[in-house]
Structure 1
Amino acid sequence: MRWNKPNLRNSLHSLLGRDAPASTAWVRDNRLEEVRRAMLFHMAGIGGGEAARITMRVRYAIDAEALWYLRSDMRGALAMARGAEVADETMREIAPLFQGLLPRALGGDAPPWRRAA
């Protein structure tokens, strides 16, 4: 019996040069984990189903782009639970953590909560 039985999915992953699905390659970048920890820290203590859903999406996001796009959902949950000022301040704290992790196209015009007051 073969332990590593070839199948179509594994063959496609090999052709595309990607890690196998069971790989933990997403853990390699400590900076990505730093962003994830910061986002989870700020979501801690917020109750409700929507906050739990966002927290789970942050926890299992596979790359910096996924975390970047989760910021708007996170800001909405923070604004509902703690107020818009706290949510805006949190976004200002988290934004610099993404520096160097995102494609240049995502670093365009800063949203209002990132602009200097």
Structure 2
Amino acid sequence: MRWNKPNIRNSLHDLLGRDKPSSTAWVRDQGLENIRRAMLHSLAGVSGCEVARMNMRLRYAGDIEALWYLRSDLFTTLLPLCGRAYAQNALDRITPLFQGQLPRTLRAPLLQHVHL
């Protein structure tokens, strides 16, 4: 009996890129967690309902793309509580962490200096 019998599901997962070698998965997961920690760190010392909600959204974001799109929400959360300079500085520190982590379709914005 073969353990890895090819079937339609496995073929679809291969096409979607779901079955990556474990060594690259570990690196990818480490990058995801480093970015998540940096985003959560930017909320340190700030409180309120919106901060708590943002904190939960960051903690439960399932992939790098979700964190990428949460950057603008993080900026919006920090803006009224900490000011534009702090919010922009947080975004400027976090954005470079995505380098090499994003799918090809999301990489172009990294080349530009992002200001919201």
State the identity %. 47
Equivalent residue, structure 2, for 1:63: 63
**Higher-helix-fraction structure:** 2
Q: Provide closer, same or farther for how the CA distance between residues 15 and 80 of structure 1 changes in structure 2, counting only shifts above 3 A.
A: same
**1:82-97 matches, cutoff 5 A:** 82-97=82-97
TM-score w.r.t. the length of structure 2 is 0.70
Q: Cα RMSD (Å) of the superposition?
A: 2.5
Instruction: Tell me the amino acid that sits aligned with residue 39 of structure 2.
Output: M
- Consecutive aligned runs of 4 or more in structure 1 exceeding 6 Å deviation: none
Equivalent residue, structure 1, for 2:32: 32
Count of aligned residue pairs for this structure pair: 96
Query: Which runs of 5 or more structure 2 residues have no equivalent in the other structure?
Result: 1-8, 20-24
Query: Which runs of 5 or more structure 1 residues have no equivalent in the other structure?
Result: 1-12, 20-26
TM-score w.r.t. the length of structure 1 is 0.70
Answer whether contact 1:75 1:88 (CA < 8 A) is retained. yes
Equivalent residue, structure 2, for 1:8: none
**1:1-117 matches, cutoff 5 A:** 17=13, 28=26, 29-109=29-109, 110=112, 112-113=114-115
More RCO (CA 8 Å, sep 6+)? 2
